[in-house]
């Protein structure tokens, strides 16, 4: 298989920024799926990865209990 063919089949989204069960910090205030406010700086755990890492389902336990679906650019490693 040529280099060009191998490169053509590589999926850049196949390597998500955060793995499942990673602890992340939210960079801006968001709301849980139940509309509870989650302040910027809150830590949560990645429970699902969507679109190869374009978005993540994050579970928060403090200061509020709930889940959010967040884009990768709203998160950083905690």
Instruction: Decide: residue 36, CB within 10 A, 0-12 exposed, 13-18 middle, 19+ buried.
Output: middle
User: Helix, strand or coil for residue 22?
Assistant: coil
pLDDT band at 14 (very low <50, low <70, confident <90, very high): low
12 — pLDDT class (breaks 50, 70, 90):
low
Q: Which residue has the higher pLDDT, 39 or 52?
A: 39
Encoded tokens for 30:
């968001």
How far apart CA 28 and CA 74 sit, in angstroms, is 7
């Amino acid at each position: 298989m040529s280099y060009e063919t191998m490169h053509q089949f590589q999926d850049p989204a196949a390597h998500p920024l955060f793995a499942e069960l990673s602890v992340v910090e939210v960079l801006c205030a968001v709301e849980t799926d139940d509309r509870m406010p989650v302040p910027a700086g809150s830590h949560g755990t990645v429970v699902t990865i969507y679109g190869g890492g374009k978005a993540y389902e994050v579970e928060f336990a403090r200061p509020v209990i709930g889940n959010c679906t967040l884009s990768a650019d709203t998160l950083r490693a905690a």
